Amino acid sequence: MKKQLIMEKAIELFAKQGFEATSVQQITEHCGISKGAFYLSFKSKDELIIEIIDHFMIQFTSEIDYIVRSAKDKENLLYKFYYAIFNSFQKHSDFGKILIKEQSRSFNEDFIVKMRYYDRLMDKTILSMVERLYGGQEVEEIKYDLVFCTKGFISMYSHLFLFYNVPLDLDLLSTSLVEKTNLLARNSTVPFISKGLIKILEEPPIEDLTKEQIISLINQEMEDMEESVEKESLMLLKQQLHEQTFGRAIIKGLLENIRNHPQTKWISYLLGSYFNM
């Protein structure tokens, strides 16, 4: 609970002042705790920053990926994708302001690496959605451009939520961006972003975690969990990693059991990718 309090209060200060201008002293005063209590939870301000980024980006990335993976039909997939993203921006505008400000001026290498990692995970999710929506030879040459254009729409329109205090119609915005994206997919004829360029931009490439690494993460999480449906589901999924005995329906049900638990949300994302769910 103390870590959560520190993170929430720090976000308020970071959104107003930025990372560099906010001191540990200011954070502890804003929380009403001592510096000693702060350092029991975080070794440094940099560690606090990275943990805040992980906390929000894990929730955001895994939720968007789940929407894309679990959609039963293509008809409303793009609408749900845009709606979920802007709904998240609306709810977490303070955090969004931090990312917009700091990405343009941060010299913290850990911060830059972390943001690039989550950005490339989002690229993979958008690419899988584009291939599902517009798959076929007709968009093969322009699919990477569509990924960049989709990210461009998200970036441009997110400023409305982050820097303008006006009510916005999420339904209308999502519907409008679906129309724009479909027009690009159906009418673009001159590709710019090639597969070769993507490989250069993604250097070094994202490497999927190995089975052994995922098992190690599961073991770490289970150590701190009380007996629960989530813990039992994790044990069964770990068993599936060792010896594949369950059908897809059972695996999907087990993943659903752990998807919304804060301790297991990221593992659910990793396992979903591993099992291609």
Q: CATH code at 8?
A: 1.10.10.60
Q: Of 183, 201, 219, which residue constitutes the final position of a domain?
A: 201
Q: Residue 218: what pLDDT?
A: 87
pTM for the model stands at 0.75
Q: Of 201, 220, 250, which residue constitutes the final position of a domain?
A: 201
Token pair, residue 72, equals 């039963």
Q: Are residues 114 and 134 in the same domain?
A: yes
Which residue intervals of 92-169 are DSSP H helices? 93-105, 109-134, 137-140, 143-163
Q: Residue 84: what pLDDT?
A: 93
| Structural domain contains residue 206 | no
CB count within 10 Å of CB 134 equals: 20
Helix axes 24-31, 2-17, angle to 10 degrees: 120
Q: Are residues 100 and 231 in the same domain?
A: no
Q: Are residues 135 and 257 in the same domain?
A: no
Q: Are residues 174 and 127 in the same domain?
A: yes
Q: Are residues 185 and 150 in the same domain?
A: yes
Q: Residue 208: what pLDDT?
A: 67
For residue 203, give the 3-state DSSP assignment. Answer: coil
Q: Are residues 34 and 166 in the same domain?
A: no
Q: Are residues 131 and 165 in the same domain?
A: yes
Q: Are residues 225 and 255 in the same domain?
A: yes
Q: Are residues 36 and 168 in the same domain?
A: no
Give the total number of structural domains in the chain. 3
Predicted confidence pLDDT, tens digits, the chain (277 residues): 688 889 888 888 887 787 888 899 999 999 999 989 899 888 988 888 888 888 888 888 888 988 888 888 888 999 999 999 999 888 887 777 777 666 655 556 777 777 788 888 899 899 999 999 998 777 888 999 999 999 999 989 988 877 777 788 999 999 999 999 999 999 988 888 877 677 666 655 556 678 888 888 888 888 877 888 888 998 999 888 888 888 888 988 898 888 877 778 778 888 888 887 7
Q: Are residues 101 and 74 in the same domain?
A: yes
Distance in angstroms (rounded) separating the CA atoms of residues 247 and 59: 27
| Structural domain contains residue 141 | yes
256 phi and psi angles, rounded to 5 deg: -65, -35
Q: Of 42, 58, 73, which residue constitutes the final position of a domain?
A: 42
Which range of residues forms the domain containing residue 219?
A: 211-274
At residue 60, what is the residue type? F
Q: Are residues 246 and 183 in the same domain?
A: no
| Structural domain contains residue 196 | yes
Token pair, residue 113, equals 């690496």
Distance in angstroms (rounded) separating the CA atoms of residues 57 and 51: 10
Q: Are residues 71 and 181 in the same domain?
A: yes
CB distance 129 to 182 below 8 Å: no
* Cβ within 8 Å of residue 139, ≥6 positions away: 130, 146, 185
| Structural domain contains residue 115 | yes
For residue 58, give the 3-state DSSP assignment. Answer: helix
| Structural domain contains residue 241 | yes
| Structural domain contains residue 161 | yes
Distance in angstroms (rounded) separating the CA atoms of residues 43 and 179: 48
